[in-house]
Amino acid sequence: MNGDPVLSVSGLSVTYDVDPPVRAVRDVSLTVGQGEVLGLAGESGCGKSTLAYAVQRLLKPPAQITAGQVVLHGTPGAAGGDDVDLTTLSPAEMDRLRWDQVAMVFQGAMNSLNPVLTIGAQLADVFARHRPGMRRAERTETCGALLDMVGVGADRLRSYPHELSGGMRQRVMIAMALALRPRLLIMDEPTTALDVLVQREILQEISRLREELGFSVVFITHDLPLLLEISHRIAVMKGGQVVEVGTASQIYHDAQHEYTKRLLGSFPSLTGERGDFVRKGAAV
């Protein structure tokens, strides 16, 4: 782990109360360090997004947290000290922490903008809700600075979502998530719908902003090679459980769990013989 912990998840379990009940997340324990990029990898349906929603207390029925703690460390004004268990907070208390301390870029976020409101209006709404004392002129200036920060440009404040490319809309969503300077940013498949060149630009932008602002990142994707490139540590999920955690180097060179080895073997090599990756994956 890199630096002091920002977030500690201990024994977290989430169950979908259907017939029969589905245990989507089972006894998961993770830590995220200050300024660290923690990659969360696994196949579709393994519980990655459910875990992310549980951390932010965004689960809706029939999903419910059935066990565990989600501790946010160093939280200003936290009752009883600097550490607060998010699972014990009231909805109003969680509303105050979201975006301010922990923010999320949701899966398919670039299609989440309101099509009938300008980009500037949607960015300003974050400040109107969480910084009600901020003057309108200051909100506008700050929103323009946010767009400049993510490489979109303040001149796009008056634009509507349909006037922006997919990559630009995704950058707007990242700007919105970082508007209040949270300490932890959770990104759920943020580049899945983008072409590889735009994906590369977005990843470079996230890396630059993380170094500049010092926030931590939980980056969720099924793309393990991508995580090997951008993460300090990687947690691999299968069937609702974390089956392996290690540095990117450890996961790549010395994976311990059979499922991790199969994930690594499922991606083709640029230099190996044709079909070699299939044999590697099948041999595990």
In contact, 224 and 41? CB cutoff 8 Å: yes
Q: Output the pLDDT for position 196.
A: 85
Q: What is the pLDDT of residue 5?
A: 93
**Which of left, alpha, beta for 240 (phi over 0: left; psi -120 to 50: alpha)?**
left
pLDDT of residue 284: 32
DSSP string, 237-280: EETTEEEEEEEHHHHHHH--SHHHHHHHHTS--SSSPTTHHHHH
Separation CA 146–CA 90 (nearest Å): 30
Q: Return the CATH fold of 5-111+183-283.
A: Rossmann fold (3.40.50)
Collapsed DSSP state (helix, strand, coil) of residue 32 = strand
Residue 82 is predicted with a pLDDT of 83
pTM of the complete model beyond 0.85:
yes
- Domain limits of the chain? 5-111+183-283
Q: Tell me, what's the pLDDT at 278?
A: 42
Give me the percent of the chain exceeding a pLDDT of 90.
76
- The pLDDT score that the predictor gives to residue 78 is 54
Residue 227 belongs to what H/E stretch?
helix 224-230
Which residues of the chain are modeled with pLDDT < 70? 1-3, 76-81, 109-110, 269-284
Q: What integer pLDDT is reported at residue 282 of this predicted model? A: 37
Taking Cα atoms as reference points, which of 236, 190, 230, 233 lies closest to residue 210? 230
Q: How many CB atoms lie within 10 A of CB 241?
A: 17
Task: Judge contact between 150 and 142, C-beta under 8 A.
Answer: no
